[in-house]
Structure 1
Amino acid sequence: MKLGFLVDLALCMGCKGCEVSCKVENEVPLSMWRLRVKYVDVGTFPETKRTFTPLRCNHCENAPCERICPVSALHYLENGIVNVDKERCIGCAGCVMACPYGAIYIDPETNTADKCTYCAHRVAGGMMPACVVACPVEANIFGDLDDPTSNISMYIMEHQGNVKVRKPEKNTHPKHFYTSGGEVNLNPLASKREEGYNLFNNITHLKHVGGH
């Protein structure tokens, strides 16, 4: 078994239900996140569009966080989940610096590393991760990548050529996939201010158009 995650960005509407359910289920401190939904606005007024991208641990097959941990607090479960053992963690933050996705944080209450674990405690009990259950449009798809009949495997087959991962050049081999997303969703450098853009002038233009 090799568990993986896929987000259909064409369905995600940015409601943040997944983000909130993750915080509640895992008692994540208010100032931290295991899962967050990134908003990216593209285009120029009046032709603009807002896109949404849920970001979480990628549970890489070649995970830098697992390799760098000196006490094996970051470790693989048999189902492929990269888990965190808080009893072993010494709070050195090596994993935080090693992760190319910014998915790990140091819990200010326990001073130990924490991140998305695909709700490993729920999965062990035969349940889906909290974010999957909370999504009203079923944009979050979770399952066994080794099972060709699983929902996620069939989804990947149906969307061949349109399945992407974040930062493939890092060779971490993520088990977290996205479909229906462009560069602006997965590449932070793809979203930039247009040449000649001036925030003050744009606000002034909007006020003029609105008659205020």
Structure 2
Amino acid sequence: MQLGFLVDLHLCMGCKGCEIACKVENEVPLSTWRLRVKYVDVGTFPDTKRTFTPLRCNHCQNAPCERICPVSALHYLDNGIVNIDKERCIGCAGCVMACPYGAIYIDPQTQTADKCTYCAHRVASSMMPACVVACPVQANIFGDLDDPTSNISKYIQVNQGNVQVRKPEKGTNPHHFYTNAGNVNLNPLASHRVDGHSLFNKITTLPVGGHH
């Protein structure tokens, strides 16, 4: 079994329900996040468009965070989830620096590493991750990548040629996929600003509750 995640960005409407559900389920401190929804504004005024990109741990098959951890606090579960043992973590932050996706943080309360674990505690009880349950448009698709009959495997099969991952050049083999993603959704450096034109030419990332 290899559990994976896929987000259909054509469906995501940026409601941040997944973000809130994650914080509540995992008691994530307000100053940090396991999952966040990035707002991406593209185009030149008045022809502009806003899209959304949920970001979380990619649960890589070749995870740099797991390799660098000196106490094996980051470890693989049998289902492919990259999990964290907070009892073993010494707060060295090596994993924070090793992760190319910025998905790991040091919990300000426990001073130990934390990140998305695909709600491993819920998965162990045969429940879906909290973010999947909270999504009102079913943009979050979770399941076993090794099972050809699972929803995620069927989704990937139907959308062949339209399935992408973040930073494939890093060789981490992420188990987190996106469909219907533009280049600026997954690659911040793909955006550009033309002098004399609207700031909508560049990516805008707003914090929770942020305003223009």
Per the TM superposition, whether the score is higher than 0.5 is: yes
1:39 maps onto 2:39 in alignment: yes
Match of 1:97 in 2: 97
Given that 2:44 and 2:197 are in contact with CA atoms closer than 8 Å, whether structure 1 keeps it comes out as no
In 1, Cα distance between the equivalents of 2:19 and 2:11?
A: 16
> Which secondary structure state, in structure 1, belongs to the residue aligned with residue 131 of structure 2?
helix
Give the C-alpha shift of residue 198 in structure 1.
6.4
Match of 1:6 in 2: 6
| Segment drifting more, 77-86 vs 185-194 | 185-194
| Deviant stretches of 4+, over 6 Å | none
Aligned amino acid, residue 66 of structure 2:
E
Given that 2:45 and 2:198 are in contact with CA atoms closer than 8 Å, whether structure 1 keeps it comes out as no
> Which secondary structure state, in structure 1, belongs to the residue aligned with residue 75 of structure 2?
strand
In 2, Cα distance between the equivalents of 1:192 and 1:27?
A: 37
Q: Deviations over 1:17-43 (max 9, x none)?
A: 000000000000000000000001001
Give the C-alpha shift of residue 45 in structure 1.
1.0
Q: How does 1:156-175 map to 2 (within 5 A)?
A: 156-175=156-175
In 1, Cα distance between the equivalents of 2:93 and 2:103?
A: 12
Give the C-alpha shift of residue 83 in structure 1.
0.1
In 2, Cα distance between the equivalents of 1:198 and 1:47?
A: 10
Match of 1:181 in 2: 181
Match of 1:61 in 2: 61
Identity of aligned residues (%): 85
Match of 2:86 in 1: 86
In 2, Cα distance between the equivalents of 1:109 and 1:79?
A: 29
> Which secondary structure state, in structure 1, belongs to the residue aligned with residue 6 of structure 2?
strand
**Larger helix fraction of residues:** 1
Given that 2:9 and 2:139 are in contact with CA atoms closer than 8 Å, whether structure 1 keeps it comes out as yes
1:23 maps onto 2:23 in alignment: yes
1:123 maps onto 2:123 in alignment: yes
Match of 2:197 in 1: 197
> Which secondary structure state, in structure 1, belongs to the residue aligned with residue 5 of structure 2?
strand
1:142–1:198 Cα change, 3 Å: closer
In 2, Cα distance between the equivalents of 1:49 and 1:198?
A: 13
Give the C-alpha shift of residue 194 in structure 1.
2.1
Match of 2:210 in 1: none
Aligned amino acid, residue 49 of structure 1:
K
Give the C-alpha shift of residue 197 in structure 1.
3.2
1:47–1:106 Cα change, 3 Å: same
Match of 2:110 in 1: 110
Give the C-alpha shift of residue 134 in structure 1.
0.1
> Which secondary structure state, in structure 1, belongs to the residue aligned with residue 157 of structure 2?
helix
> Which secondary structure state, in structure 2, belongs to the residue aligned with residue 37 of structure 1?
strand
TM-score (norm 2): 0.93
Give the C-alpha shift of residue 196 in structure 1.
3.1
